[in-house]
Structure 1
């Protein structure tokens, strides 16, 4: 379900100029699986982000062990928005919401820059379900009007 959105996002040159350049589909598929594996192992990871009113896919956001290195002690915040969503205030709101979620989830030492977190602070994913039961959605007081929806990434059909 997420793969078509991720391919469109990560093969768009305007979007990816600040995110490491255009990616090949095979690399996108590998990183999607790595993101899913990361969340299963640590209880947090990347989510696909949708604007609530329009239901429009906006990009990715969340927290990962640095560059998906599962042995890394550093956790990095990640926000990658499609070009049309950039420079419109979405990124700031999304980062604030992710930061508030991290505190709720027990990742208490997070900052908005480099993030160092001890193993014992990696806690459960705080999630509730809305809409389709396959997609646990995170909620946060940083977004009280519910402007954005954050859904867990799911593998492509048949994977």
Structure 2
């Protein structure tokens, strides 16, 4: 698994449901997703990650703070459809109490390096809702720039997004 200066990444498992709920059922954290998830949606989210591990050998991983053992959030690599193209994306969602401490940037940079150096990916992206300025800043801090704007349809809503390379 990936390690950074302060973080260890590991695969998510069923024991992580309470921590995932703290993230995915937080209205503020999930603003970019049009609101908090239900219990069933959290379970489907975890099942998707477990499937991604089997299919690709990666997905979203748990981020664990080395010094405390705390579950900080999740970060990882997924394939996303951007218009007519499938791209390898770095995704990150942290518990609110860990925001503004540099963890998202550190974790996203670790994923970027893993994708490029270990997986041999030619390109890695971030797809970020146009209203999610904090996530856009993380992408920029890891050396990405905004490439284009596109619209993703999710939960019955047209959601403008930016694609970062």
TM-score in same-fold range (> 0.5): yes
Confirm whether residue 50 of structure 1 aligns to residue 50 of structure 2: no
Q: CA deviation at 1:21?
A: 2.0
Write out aligned runs for 1:65-104 (5 A). 65-66=79-80, 73-104=86-117
2:46 to 25, 32, 54: 32
More relative contact order, 1 or 2 (CA 8 Å, 6+ apart) = 1
Matched positions, count: 110
Write out aligned runs for 1:2-151 (5 A). 2-66=16-80, 73-113=86-126
Output the TM-score relative to the length of structure 2: 0.60
2:134 is matched with which residue? none
1:119 is matched with which residue? none
Please tell me whether the aligned partners of residues 17 and 43 of structure 2 are also in contact (alpha carbons under 8 angstroms): yes
Q: CA deviation at 1:14?
A: 2.6
Q: RMSD of the TM alignment (CA)?
A: 1.8
Segments of 5+ residues of structure 2 without an aligned counterpart are 1-14, 128-165
